[in-house]
Structure 1
Amino acid sequence: MSIGALAVLVMACALVVLVAFLIPTLLEIRRTAAEFRSVMAQVGQELKPLTQELQQTLAELKVVTEGVAERVDDVKEFMEAVGDTGRNIRTINAVIGSVAHAAAASSAWSTGARVAGKYLMERLIKKRG
């Protein structure tokens, strides 16, 4: 036997061993691919209702968002009205404070005038008397 024949024999044995290991691997890959197809079909069936629900939810969310957007202007107007009311209350408070100050000042003047009038009356009565 020559070296060439021996090399061919070694290669043939190596090829047989390689095929012996490759066959179970290829069978396992084939089973895995079949299982993968089955899982993907099941996932596809389960995703259809989920995507429909998601589309319905998005449509409802869009309606709600539009409703909120419509009410934003109402809220702005309400807040402006509240601000105007606060300014009006401050103005009224300032006017009431001014009136109260004027009333207190006039009350002090009228009390002073009464006391002075009584004093003058008493002095006049004593002089005549």
Structure 2
Amino acid sequence: MTVTAIAVVVIALALVVLVAFIIPTLIEIRKAAADLRGFVSRTGGELKPVLLELERTLTELRTVTEGIAEKREDVQTFMEAVGDTGRNLRTINTVVSSVAHAAATSSVWITGARTAGKFLAQRLITKRG
């Protein structure tokens, strides 16, 4: 046998061995592709309802957020009114305190004047008598 014949036989044997290993590999690749196709179709079918529910939830969330934004001004106005009420109560408290102090002071003066008047009246009555 010549070198060329031996080379052709070696190449032919290598090709047979290569084909023997490639065929099972190709079969496995085909099975994996079929499994992948099934997985993708199942996942797509299961994801559609989830995505629809997510879209509905986002729509509701947008609606709630808009409602909160609309009510924020009302809450801010209410809080300003509460602050004004607190300031007014403080002012009223100061006025009432001043009036009570003035009343207490004038009450002391009136009591003193009465006592002084009674004392003077008794002195005048005792001097006449």
Count how many residue pairs are aligned between Structure 1 and Structure 2. 129
- Code of the aligned partner of 2:14: A
* Correspondence for 2:96: 96
How many angstroms apart in 1 are the aligned matches of 2:120 and 2:10?
149
Which letter does structure 2 place at the counterpart of 1:88?
A: N
Q: CA deviation at 1:17?
A: 2.4
Rounded Cα–Cα distance in structure 2 between residues aligned with 1:81 and 1:56: 38
> Who is 1:70 aligned against?
70
Structure 1 residue aligned with 2:117? 117
* Structure 1 residue 69: Cα displacement: 1.3
Partner residue in 2 for 1:87: 87
Residues 62-88 of structure 1 show CA distances to partners (whole Å, capped at 9, x for unaligned) of: 222221111111111111111111111
1:16 Cα deviation after fit: 2.5
Which runs of 5 or more structure 2 residues have no equivalent in the other structure? Answer: none
How far 1:61 sits from its partner (Å)?
A: 1.7
What pairs up with 1:12-27 in 2 under 5 angstroms? 12-27=12-27
Over 4 Å off, 4+ runs:
1-8
Offset, 1:122: 2.0
**Amino acid in structure 2 at the alignment position of 1:49:** P
Identity rate of aligned residues, in percent?
Answer: 64
Cα distance in 1 for partners of 2:107, 2:21 equals 117
Q: Structure 1, unaligned stretches of length 5 or more?
A: none
Give the letter for the 1:60 counterpart: E
Q: Deviations over 1:1-59 (max 9, x none)?
A: 45555454444333332322222111111100011011111111122222222222222
When normalised by structure 2's length, the TM-score is 0.87
CA distance in 1, matches of 2:125, 2:6: 161
Indicate the residue corresponding to 1:40 in structure 2.
Answer: 40
RMSD across aligned C-alpha pairs, in angstroms?
Answer: 1.8
